[in-house]
Amino acid sequence: MDIEVEWSPEALEDLESIAEYIARDSQFYARAVVSKILEVSRSVRDFPFVGRIVPETEDEKIRERFIYSYRLV
């Protein structure tokens, strides 16, 4: 299946903000959380239908995954 993950500029800004926020307390955990988010986003290529359908869209092709307290759509 040819699935491509494309990050919007807003999503990249959000990821950077997440890292900066967590890094205030721990650089280690900031890196760990960002790494986990990136790992899950890469897994979409192999498992595109893992996760629940995004309630706001009701589109079977748009899924969401939760990583800690963050939502990846």
Mean pLDDT split into 10-residue runs, the chain, 73 residues: 84 97 97 96 90 92 93 93
Instruction: For residues 7 and 9, give the distance between their C-alpha atoms in angstroms, rounded to a whole number.
Output: 7
Contact predicate 44/29, CB 8 Å: no
25: amino acid identity, one letter = D
DSSP character string of 34-52 = HHHHHHHHHHTTT-TT-SE
Percent of the chain topping pLDDT 90: 78
Contact predicate 44/5, CB 8 Å: yes
pLDDT value for 30 = 97
pLDDT value for 1 = 61
A 10 A CB-CB count for 33 gives 21
pLDDT in tens, 30-43: 999 999 999 999 99
